[in-house]
C-alpha cells in the first residue's frame, strides 16, 4: 500500500480532492470502495493522510517520513501558492521526502488560461527553489466538478489523470 500525505493551504481543496479520489476511482477501475482515507488505482491501494496544517504534517513526518511514497500538494488555481505551501514543501524536504505531485485545482473558478499557466509556473519555480526539481507532475482540474459530474467520463477525467500521475511518480 502506498502511503501519501495530502497537503495544501486552508481552503485549497485537499478534502475535496481526497473525496474525489475515494468516490470516483472505484467506478473507473471497477473496484469496491475502500475504508476512509483509502483508494485504489490500476497500480494498487493508497492510504491518504489529509494534513490540516503544516504542524500536523510535521508530526506525521516525525513518525514515518520514510514510509511515505510521496506528498500530494493541492494548490487552488484562484489563489496560487501561499506561504503555507512553502512551509509544507520545506518540511517535506527536511524530512527527506523526494516525491511530490501537484493537483492544481479549482479551475472552475479561473476563466483565464494564462492565469492557470502562470500559477503552474509559480509552482514549478517553488519546487525547484526548494530542491525538488521540475520533475513533479502537475495535474490541472476541478475535484468539485469531478464529484458533481462523476457519472460522466468527463467528470472523472481529472481525477483519473491525477491517479495516473501518482502511480507514475510515487514509490
Question: pLDDT tens for residues 9-54?
Answer: 999 999 999 999 998 888 888 888 888 889 998 888 999 999 989 9
- Res 51: pLDDT: 92
Contact by Cβ (8 Å): 89, 54: no
The C-alpha angle with vertex 27 and arms to 22 and 29, in degrees rounded to 5, equals 95
SS3 percent helix, strand, coil of the chain, rounded to 5, is 50, 20, 30
Q: How far apart are CA 111 and CA 57, in angstroms?
A: 32
- Res 150: pLDDT: 66
Q: How far apart are CA 112 and CA 120, in angstroms?
A: 13
Q: How far apart are CA 69 and CA 108, in angstroms?
A: 29
Low-confidence ranges of the chain (pLDDT < 50): none
- Res 21: pLDDT: 93
- Res 87: pLDDT: 95
- Res 35: pLDDT: 87
- Res 27: pLDDT: 81
Number of domains in the chain: 1
Q: How far apart are CA 81 and CA 9, in angstroms?
A: 8
Q: How far apart are CA 17 and CA 147, in angstroms?
A: 9
Q: How far apart are CA 93 and CA 121, in angstroms?
A: 20
Contact by Cβ (8 Å): 66, 60: no
Q: How many residues does the chain have?
A: 171
Contact by Cβ (8 Å): 126, 86: yes
Q: Looking at residue 33, which CATH number applies to its domain? A: 3.40.50.300
Which one, of 134, 122, 131, lies nearest residue 77 by Cα? 122
What is the extent of the structural domain holding 26? 2-169
Q: What angle separates helix 14-29 from helix 153-169, to the nearest 10 degrees?
A: 100
pTM of the model: 0.93
Amino acid at each position: 500500500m502506498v502511503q501519501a500525505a495530502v497537503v495544501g493551504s486552508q481552503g485549497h481543496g485537499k478534502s475535496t480532492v481526497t473525496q474525489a479520489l475515494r468516490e470516483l476511482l472505484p467506478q473507473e477501475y471497477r473496484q469496491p470502495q475502500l475504508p476512509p482515507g483509502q483508494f485504489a488505482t490500476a497500480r494498487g491501494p493508497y492510504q491518504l493522510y489529509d494534513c490540516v496544517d503544516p504542524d500536523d504534517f510535521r508530526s506525521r513526518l516525525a513518525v514515518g517520513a520514510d514510509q511515505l511514497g510521496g506528498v500530494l500538494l493541492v494548490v487552488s488555481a484562484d489563489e496560487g501558492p501561499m506561504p503555507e505551501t512553502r512551509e509544507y514543501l520545506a518540511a517535506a524536504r527536511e524530512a527527506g521526502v523526494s516525491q511530490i505531485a501537484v493537483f492544481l485545482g479549482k479551475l472552475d473558478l479561473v476563466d483565464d488560461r494564462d492565469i492557470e499557466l502562470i500559477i503552474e509556473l509559480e509552482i514549478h519555480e517553488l519546487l525547484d527553489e526548494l530542491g525538488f526539481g521540475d520533475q513533479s507532475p502537475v495535474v490541472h482540474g476541478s475535484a468539485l466538478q469531478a464529484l458533481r459530474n462523476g457519472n460522466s467520463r468527463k467528470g472523472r477525467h481529472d481525477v483519473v489523470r491525477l491517479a495516473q500521475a501518482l502511480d507514475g511518480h510515487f514509490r
